[in-house]
Amino acid sequence: MSKKESKSKYENHLLLESGLSFANFTLLNGMFLIGFALLLDANEFMIGILAAIPLFANILQVFSAFIIDKTGSKKNTTIISLNLARVLWIIVIFVSFGLITYNPLILFIIVLIFSSILTAIGNLSLLAWMKDLVPTKHLSEFLGKRNAYASIGGIIVYLVASFLIDWNNSVEMFGLVFLFAIIIGVIGTFMLKDIPQKKGKLKTITFSKFKENMFEPFKNKSFKPLLTFGMVFSFATYVVSPFFIVFMLNDLGMSYFVVSIYLVIYLVARIFGLKIFGKIVDQYGSRPSLVIGTTIKCLTPFAFIFLTNSPWMHIVVFITFVTDAIGNAAIDLGLYRALFKSAPRKHDAYYLSAFTSSTNVIAAIGPIIGGAIAVLLKGTIVHPIKFLFFFSFVIRAFSISLIYKIQEPEKRSVDDVLVRMRTIRYFSFFANVYSIAEFTSKIVLFPTKQLFLLQRLTRTRMKKDVKSAISVIDKISGSLQRFNASNIDYYKERFRVLRRKLSKEVDNLDYQKGTFYDKIPTAALSEVKKLESVLDNVEIDSRKDEKAIEKRSDKIFKKIEKGKNKLIDAYERNIK
């Protein structure tokens, strides 16, 4: 077999594996995990915890990098971890058929915890392994294909499993669904068996070196903006994510099959989005796609706020699911490209694990907080889940401003991508959706933008006003040094003029009340007023009076000079 044929074969295996693995993931998470939990009498808070477990498990992805360094094998780490994660679900199957009766919900949570940890380790190893196999310039396109295969796998099992559960909504039927998930999951990891890996030297890494490598990404200034955006947007997404399905099943009265139809629509739209954005991201960079994707995804929770069980319900759900899928495709590809670009090959596993574990930890807090809020708001005039929709919308909109801090040397503008989108058949509609979503997101972004402008204007004004105050204080200080009995009449008038000027400067600093930018000039003004009062009321007719006034002016000079130096230092350090 030629090198080209061999490469084609293992790329096909990676694509098939993604379809089977995502089918496995679909049946063990999301709607089916929530449905099984509801049959076990879980409330919203428990559902939030169940949704958070797979995300919290990603904290341990950092140990995936350590295992890879210890074993020298991304391949073995991937296959062993994923197989163990999937086989563990046999315990849940035993629970569903009554073969194990001890506290089913707790046992379900325990299995989910260990399975999620192993899945997190395996997925990071697989991601690092793929990074070695696929050239960076074709990475977005390949990931687009891989995600398309995954979506197809998800579509098939969504339809089949949801039809079976609607036909027989019982724990036993969920047990059969989970059994099928194990089988296809193990077949998926079997597809990886013949795929090669880059041979590397076995590293005898110490735990202290591992810790050093683990914290390296967090010290990288160019990596931090990407990490910040990922964490904020993940929280915004997952604080409400599991409750979309709860809302559709309970509040809108949809069946599992109808919900699965919408999830299939979502996956089909995502395939389309991945295909288009795979090329757009490679051509125009990550940032424009992240802006467009995040803005579009703001529409989803915003639209659900106004959704009721009405004849228009299905139209709204259809449009929001399609647009959300397109937005998600843009974000996924933009994030992965930015992440792979920022991760140095030597420590790529550590950068990947730092990003995925950090974002997933924050994301995991989301459904727990969301569930707690929903439980607390029960019985109030506020609809618990609709409040979460609004909360998610606000944070999603805010996260758009964080994208512009992500460093990307070859970045292009959002307008460039919108122009390209309008030339693609069936895709120009989404350029218009972006415009609507951008307008909607300004509900949140406008105050943020105004606050930024206000801060900038305040800083500019402060810089000018403090500098003027320092100038006047400096003139007063100079005058005090030159003061003597022979020029007392001149200085009486000079202090009067400088006091008026300083008083005006202190008034200008009114918006800085309580800070040393205001306190020091105010203290200087007070001292000047005291000396001015003495000069107005005392006639110099003896050496004694002259010396007393000179002594007092020297004392005031030292106070003012000390304060002035503090003010100059603060000005230079903070606002110059």
Q: Would you state the pLDDT for residue 343?
A: 63
CA 288 to chain centre: 16
d(CA 437, CA 294): 9
- Phi then psi for residue 254, to 5 deg, are -80, 150
| Of 251 and 440, more confident | 251
pLDDT at 453 over 50: no
451 pLDDT above the threshold of 50: no
Residue 144 clears pLDDT 80, i.e. is over it: no
Q: Which of 76, 344, 66 is nearest to 196 (CA)?
A: 76
Contact at 8 Å (CB) between 125 and 78? yes
How far, in Å, CA of 486 to CA of 540, rounded? 9
- How far is the C-alpha of 23 from the C-alpha of 150, rounded, in Å? 7
Which pLDDT belongs to residue 292?
85
Segments in 221-347 forming alpha helices (H):
224-238, 241-246, 256-284, 286-297, 299-305, 313-342
Indicate whether 548 pLDDT > 80: no
d(CA 96, CA 106): 13
Residue (of 59, 58, 202) closest to 123 by Cα position: 58
What's the maximum distance between 2 C-alpha atoms anywhere in the chain? 114
pLDDT average, residue stretch 246-253: 84
**Residue 326 pLDDT:** 87
Q: Cα–Cα distance between 147 and 268 in angstroms, integer?
A: 11
Distance between CA atoms of 563 and 164, rounded to whole angstroms? Answer: 79
Q: Among 351-360, 367-376, 426-435, whose mean pLDDT is lowest?
A: 426-435
How much is the pLDDT for 517? 75
What are the Cα distances from residue 500, in Å, to 53, 452, 508, 552? 67, 34, 13, 21
Tell me what the mean pLDDT of segment 345-359 comes to: 71
In the chain the domains, ranked by start, together with CATH numbers, are 3-195+216-426 (1.20.1250.20), 454-574 (1.20.120)
pLDDT above 70 for 449: no
Work out the number of other CB atoms within 10 angstroms of the CB of residue 194: 10
Tokens of 289: 């796609």
Q: How many CA atoms lie within 13 A of 384 on its CB side?
A: 20
Give the span between the Cα atoms of 359 and 380, in whole angstroms: 32
Asked whether residue 450 carries a pLDDT value surpassing 50, the answer given is no
Q: What is the CA radius of gyration of the chain?
A: 33
Whether residue 478 has pLDDT greater than 60:
yes
Instruction: With a cut of 80, say whether residue 413 has pLDDT above it.
Output: no
Q: Residue range 356-385: average pLDDT?
A: 83
Q: Confidence band (pLDDT; 50, 70, 90) for 410?
A: low
Mean model confidence pLDDT for the chain: 77
Lowest mean pLDDT among 176-190, 441-455, 510-524, 526-540: 441-455
Residue pair 244/61 in contact (Cβ under 8 Å)? The answer is no
Among 40-54, 181-195, 500-514, the least confident range: 500-514
pLDDT in tens, 200-241: 554 555 556 666 666 677 777 777 888 888 899 989 988 888
User: For 453-465, what is the mean pLDDT?
Assistant: 64
Q: What is the pLDDT of residues 104-143, one digit of tens each?
A: 888 888 888 888 888 888 877 777 777 666 666 666 667 7
For 448-481, give the DSSP string: HHHHHHHHHHHHHHHHHHHHHHHHHHHHHHHHHH
Cα–Cα distance between 108 and 44 in angstroms, integer? 16
Mean pLDDT in residue range 145-163: 80
pLDDT band at 514 (very low <50, low <70, confident <90, very high): low
Give 493-504 pLDDT, tens digit per residue: 777 888 888 888
Cβ atoms within 10 Å of 215's Cβ, excluding its own = 12
- The pLDDT-based confidence of 513 (bands split at 50, 70, 90) is low
pLDDT at 349: 64
Looking at the whole model, is its pTM more than 0.95?
no
For 463, other C-beta atoms within 10 Å of its C-beta total: 14
pLDDT of residue 199: 57
Q: Indicate left, alpha or beta for 30 from its phi (over 0: left) and psi (-120 to 50: alpha).
A: left
Assign 17 a pLDDT band (cuts: 50, 70, 90): confident
What pLDDT is attached to residue 545?
66
- How large is the average pLDDT for residues 283-304? 84
More confident residue, 271 or 167: 167
**Cβ pair 327, 296 in contact under 8 A:** yes
Alpha carbon 420 to chain centroid distance? 27
221-230 pLDDT per residue, tens: 777 888 888 8
Distance CA 284, CA 416 (A): 8
- Read off the tokens for 201: 């030297």
Query: Between these two residues, 408 and 145, which has the higher pLDDT value?
Result: 145
